[in-house]
Structure 1
């Protein structure tokens, strides 16, 4: 049984609320994001925002999911062109994820502070893990793909990523080069010798 389609007015309200949240974030910053201000900006009742998103963390995760959808569409377009290898797809995926995390760093930090373990239960995290594990399995069938996917995703933990960018002053290109080194090591994994 499929889920019922979203009503047209509910879909419009959702888009209005997300756009209003983006405007409020640009004006007020992440620390001062309030559902009341978002509702006012969107021209909807505050109850509509609370029913739809429950709390600030729910709204933040909805914004993250919207950005995730755009990331996935871009990755799918890359995979559709020129039949890239598993190595190339994994590299493009991780580089794109680094850019996505960097572009949404404050939003992700806010989500992490609102519900620290929520990241690991979120649809984007599960999707990323599945995609990375699948690419690792294709690239290095003898590797423990699930474990390596967890390790690679640790690089995108919002607090660590922000620390590397702000405290250490690392550019995103440096992070990408480090990811390339890890991908190269994974690609070098060989099956154990029978014996």
Structure 2
């Protein structure tokens, strides 16, 4: 399950308390406005506890992203269909995109505030790309699967999706419907 490790139970509880407080603050006022002081106050702990646990603000933001990535990974590896195993590849791919879009409210602003050098070579991106590639193969998509997976994942980029919502006026539902049309188009086999 996401977040499980070998840390003491009280340390794990404090870590989760701090991450929950951070996520609430991001939802309430955006990641730009989140400070270590505000997180400590919201969680009911001293500011030093936040710094000891995460080092700095970027470390806190990276931990929040890591938690989000782990939850989504667990859902598509072990959760119920259509996101989890047991549904056809096409249905799972559509569910994956919609699940990623649900995370944009928090992740979009957080990704802008975290140091993400190497974001396309790190484990979270590569795990998502491997999953999307697998589902594309299961759905019988033609073409270069790796390149197609990168292209599909680019359309789910949190920064882009936030721009589409905030500046262009699209709703998350419209973007999700577009994702589904895009997936159906790229997995359709060409006419003979």
1:12-161 pair list within 5 angstroms: 12-25=13-26, 28-75=29-76, 76-79=79-82, 83-101=86-104, 103-104=105-106, 107-117=107-117, 119-140=119-140, 142-161=142-161
State the 1:57 CA deviation: 2.2
CA offsets per residue over residues 39-80 of structure 1, 9 Å max, x none?
344344434322332222221232233333443444421148
Give the structure-1-normalised TM-score.
0.77
User: Which runs of 5 or more structure 2 residues have no equivalent in the other structure?
Assistant: none
The aligned counterpart of 1:172 is: 172
For residues 3-58 of structure 1, what are the alpha-carbon distances to aligned partners after superposition, in whole Å with 9 as ceiling and x for unaligned? x7112222122012112323444555422211133234434443432233222222
Question: Counterpart in 1 of 2:187?
Answer: 187
Larger radius of gyration: 1
State the alpha-carbon separation in 1 of the partners of residues 11 and 119 from structure 2.
26
Unmatched runs of 5 consecutive residues or more in structure 1: none
Q: TM-score, with normalisation over the residues of structure 2? A: 0.79
Alpha-carbon contact 2:89-2:139 (below 8 Å) kept:
yes
Cα root mean square deviation, aligned = 2.9
Pick closer, same or farther for the CA change 1:118–1:49 going to 2, 3 Å: farther
Give the Cα separation in 2 of the matches to 1:181 and 1:22.
Answer: 31
